[in-house]
Structure formats: structure tokens, C-alpha cells
Chains A and B, each alone.
Chain A
């Protein structure tokens, strides 16, 4: 049941509700068959973007293209887009069969084929033979799968998923994450997924779009967005980061020497951003900083002396707050035997390639 994959393009799309600007001039390209995630805190405009693609909201400005054709003026029911709602939105008065077959009714699919396609879709979401149940007789996870089956059975150009996993409990969520991804691969369907959960976004996507207050902050593959945050917001939103003010001391083609605070200097890879300014913002991920009582051989790494101020013991790892001069750095280290204790003197190792400088200082 390979769906016809469609490429989607949003061009400078905006949406205002009265004085609230929910989406601000977002550009976004979804390659055919790709899995793209809109990631951002609640209220940043993710749902609004989905609803505009589906036709449930009209953009205030900008264009939406599917397979190269502008669809702004195409009414909702003619768009051929599959949407899975956060609360599933199954029709409570219709059986599972009638729910899944709902979209086929309006596509002049003959009865026999409709029955076959519903059965196939239920097979796909691993709930075969559930046709005669009512939604109220299904668990949350099952309802979720039926909602997915209902959206994909019409072979939509694009599949839109609005926080589909957020209502499930943690175990089921991870299981569904894997399964959803598998189904998406199997159907090779262009998918736009919305979540506020960074783990979901990083685990599932080809492209992650980090959003904040209606704007797209950064778009790219998960590793890139995670390792090379383009803004303070992205650095802060994904994982644990240290966001530091730094002064450029000296720079050659390979490394740049930065001063964080009086007497605390680090070397950064010159390739990791613009060092043209005298004052820059430096991002170092907490887990990229090495923590030990002693480091040997430096080969360009910066070794800082610090004192453990706080320990957050997490089992496999621990999150430390380490005082270095008048700085407080977050460090995540794996634990050998026992974690460092409060007040213990430690040495931090910072590698030049882990020092990322933000575009605008």
C-alpha cells in the first residue's frame, strides 16, 4: 500500500489570530517521503502550521505547495491530507470499520475494495479484525492506531501528526514511536510530525524544525540541530547546555582562543562559527565536557580547574554543577564507582570541536 508521496513546501507562511501572531513567516520544505518534526514548547505555533497545511486555518500570508501546486485556495475536503489529532478524534458513534472507511466513502471507492483497504490498514497498525468495535471499547493506544489507520487509508499526499504520542503513557509511547516510524518508512509517506518532546523529535526525524514563538529557529538533521545549535534558544531547548559569554583573544585558521572570565580560557575550533566579533556567545553541551580528577596530555584541549558545587545523581550518569572561577558549568559525566562529591576539586576537559559559537553575538 505504497502511498503516493508528495513534496510539501511552505513559503513565508504566517498566521495571526487578532493581535496574536501565532506563526511568523516560516519557510519549510518537506521532501517526498521524508519525516519532518516541528519541535517547540507549547504555544509556539506548531498546531497552527499543521492546521494550515490541512486547510483548517487560512494562512494570513504566504504560500503552501503540495507537489509544486499552490493549495491555499483548495478547500479542506479536496486536499487529500491525512491528519491525526492529539486526542485522536475518532467518531464515537461509528464502528472502527466506519471510522477507517470514512474517507474512502468520499473517494468513490467500491464497497469491496473499501473493505479490503480497511482490513489492510488495520493490518498495518497491527489491529486486524477490530472492525466491529466501537472506539469506546478500545484502549488509548489502540484508538491511536485506529486514528492512524483512518488517516493513511486514504493514501494522502502528506501525513500530519499532532502530538500523537503525548496522551500515551511512557512505555507505550516509546513502543509507538518505533512503530510509527516503521509504518512511515513502509508507506514512504511524507510526514509532518509535531511534538514538544525533544527525544521523540531526535529519535524519529529526518529533519527537525525547532520553533519558538511562531518562528523557525533552526532546521536540519537531528545530529546537526543537537550538536550545532544555531541560536541560544535551540541550545537551551535541546538537552543540557552551557551558554557562555566569551571574548576572542586570538585566532588563527585552526583554533580560536577565547576568554570566558578572568583567567579562564578555552580553545575553540575556528570552523565552529563566526569569530569575527570581539564578544561572542559560546555553547558547550553538558555531556561533551569531560570531568575527572586528572587529565593527561592536552593536544589542544582546554583543561579547567573547578570545584563541584552540586551533584544530581541519575544512576548511569550524574549532572554536576562545577564552579570554575566565577562561572558555573553544567557537566554530565558517566559514573565510575561513585560520583564526585560536593566540594571535591575536579578538572574539566573541553575539546575545541565541542565549542560552538552562535551566529550572532
Chain B
């Protein structure tokens, strides 16, 4: 958070800092403007177009798409599902991710980089393939059911695949490294002497953890949670591969509008809604926590 109010950098003692800074930023800003801001504006404009027929739309300025979004409960249900799945996945990631993060941060094992490598290893396999792999774990003939059936604990396969649980499982699988990395970064930054100090003052190791380590790692936990929440709320691949017909999230609605119904104006409207929802969450987070912790884990 201190980084956000960093000292102005002086370039060779000259006072023309802003112009120099702008020059250096220009390539990035121009790229962002043409590849992000302009396309988003186009999508926003598109949300007012009129849908005529599959794949056909007409330039217009009308609120039909927006009215449909605000009045149709189908969309609101999807928002609710999206939040429920994203929050569940985030909370589970936070709880489950804290343990390896704490372990990596506090271990005296000399080759920490190996543990970090293990954490990053999954990124070497495509996200889609990793998601598909759950079919072989959770399916009716999958690893879990096959094992349980063969040792006779169950007579019939348990339905695990194509449920909301499977979607959440797949998301956790993909989000966990982000969470672990963020928590690790904040744990790593805590002075070890603080816990020692708490111990000498009379705290047990659990009390020292609760009073010192946990509160000081909250920024990392919050940053990881934000990242996990935004990434999971925005996905459409995981529910499409692992979810049942009723387990659609907001991203799936957008995908369907654009790719199946070829209703671009509606797809554009829903995209705007998604952007506003997730954008607001990031802004609220920024007001409370500041975003600088999020950048730390990418350094």
C-alpha cells in the first residue's frame, strides 16, 4: 500500500518528470487504448443495437437489450449462481491454499525454488486439458467411482461429474496456485522475529499465529481472493466442461448469446453487465485494501 504513494522519481534532477514519464508510458497506453478501450466502447455501442434475426442486427439506439436483462429472471439466476460458485471456490482456495503457502514460507528446506516450481508446474499443461482431466476422476467410470465400486463401498456410481460441485472442484484446481502465490508473498514478507517476540512475551505458537502471522498475511489473502473471485466469476469453460445443463454461469450466457444464438447485441449487453459487476468489485476492493498487494506477487 505504501507503493501506491511512492515518491516522485527524479530523472537526472530535472523537473520535467511528467513529460518523460508520459513518453515512457506512451507505447503501453496506446496499445491499451486501441486494443482494450476502443473494443470495449464498440461493445458498449453494440448493446444498443437491434437484434433482427440469428446473426442479423441493425444499428440503433434502443434499450431493448438492457430492458430484457433487467426484467428476465433467467439472467438474475445466472448472476446468483455465478456469485455462489465463485465465492465458494474462493473461500475453499483461501482455506486450502493457506497451508501450502505457510509451509513454503516457513520451511527451512534449502531448495524452496523446487516447491515453488511444483506450484507453477500445472501452468505448463493447458487449462482446458486440466479441466477435462476431471472427467476421468469424477465420472461414472472415473477413478473415484471405479475405486469405490471395486472395494464394494458403493453399488452404483455416485453422480459427481456434471454437477455444481464438479465445477467448483475444477475451479479450485485452476485457481489454487494464484491463491498460494499471493499468500506466500505476504507471509514471506513478515519479519520472523515478530513471531519470536510474541512467543517470548507469553503467546503459544497458535496464539502467535492468530495475533501476528494471520493479520499480517491478510493483504495477501485478500489479494489472492480478489484474483480468484474475478477469475472464477468470469470463466465459462469450466462449467461448460464439468457442469450439468443447469450449472451455467454468467459467462456461459454470454457465450451462448454470441456463439449459439448469434445475438450479438444481447451478448454485448451481457458483457457490459459482467464488466460493470466485476469492475465494481475491484474498485471496492481497491478502496478498502489497495491494489498494490496484487501486483507484488507478479514481481
Contacts and interface: CB of A to CB of B under 8 A. Distances in A.
Contact of A83 (B200, B204, B212): B200
In this complex, the interface size class of chain A, counting residues with CB under 8 Å from chain B, is 20 to 34
Given A87-B191, A91-B212, A106-B207, A150 B201 contact: yes
B193 interface: yes
Given A76-B199, A107-B202, A92 B193 contact: no
Interface in B183-204: 191, 193-194, 196-204
B199 A93 contact: no
B216 interface: yes
A164 B201 CA distance: 17
A103 interface: yes
B202 A89 contact: no
A79 interface: yes
In this complex, the interface size class of chain B, counting residues with CB under 8 Å from chain A, is 10 to 19
Contacts of B202: 77-78, 80, 103, 105-107, 154
Nearest to B194: A89
A56 B196 CA distance: 7
A45 interface: no
B13 interface: no
A85 B196 contact: yes
| Chain B interface, DSSP helix/strand/loop, else mixed | helix
A243 interface: no
Contacts of B197: 83, 85, 89, 91, 150
Interface in B161-218: 191, 193-194, 196-204, 207, 211-212, 215-216
A54 interface: yes
A87 B193 contact: yes
A89 B193 contact: yes
A83 B211 CA distance: 18
Nearest to B218: A93
B194 A82 contact: no
B200 A81 contact: yes
A55 to B, nearest CB: 7
A265 B278 CA distance: 90
Contacts of B196: 54, 56, 83, 85, 89
Interface in A104-119: 105-107
A81 B199 CA distance: 10
A76 to B, nearest CB: 4
Contacts of B203: 77, 102, 106
Contacts of B194: 89, 91-92
A48 to B, nearest CB: 13
A164 to B, nearest CB: 13
B201 A102 contact: yes
Contacts of A55: 199-200
Of A76, A82, A83, A150, most B-chain CB atoms within 10 Å: A76
Contacts of A150: 197, 201
Of A55, A56, A89, A154, most B-chain CB atoms within 10 Å: A89
Nearest to B201: A103
A82 B200 contact: yes
A79 B200 contact: yes
B299 to A, nearest CB: 21
Contact of A85 (B193, B204, B215): B193
A174 to B, nearest CB: 25
A54 B194 CA distance: 14
A50 B138 CA distance: 55
Interface string A43-60: 000000000001110000
Contact of B201 (A75, A87, A93, A154): A154
Contacts of B200: 54-56, 76-77, 79, 81-83
Of A75, A78, A80, A91, most B-chain CB atoms within 10 Å: A91
A80 B199 CA distance: 10
A56 B191 CA distance: 15
A78 B204 CA distance: 9
Given A89-B194, A91-B212, A92-B216, A56 B199 contact: yes
Contacts of A106: 201-203, 207
Nearest to A156: B200
Interface string B134-156: 00000000000000000000000
Contacts of B215: 93
A81 B215 CA distance: 25
B272 to A, nearest CB: 39
A77 B199 contact: yes
A102 B216 contact: no
Of A80, A82, A87, A92, most B-chain CB atoms within 10 Å: A92
Interface of B: 191, 193-194, 196-204, 207, 211-212, 215-216
Interface of A: 54-56, 75-83, 85, 87, 89, 91-93, 102-103, 105-107, 150, 154
21 contacts: A54-B196, A54-B200, A55-B199, A56-B199, A77-B200, A77-B204, A79-B200, A81-B200, A83-B196, A83-B197, A85-B196, A89-B196, A89-B197, A91-B194, A91-B197, A92-B194, A102-B201, A105-B202, A150-B197, A154-B201, A154-B202
List 10 A-B pairs, minimum CB-CB distance, nearest first: A106-B202, A103-B201, A89-B193, A89-B197, A76-B199, A83-B200, A85-B193, A77-B202, A102-B201, A54-B200
Given A77-B204, A85-B197, 5 more contacts: A79-B200, A85-B196, A89-B191, A89-B193, A102-B211
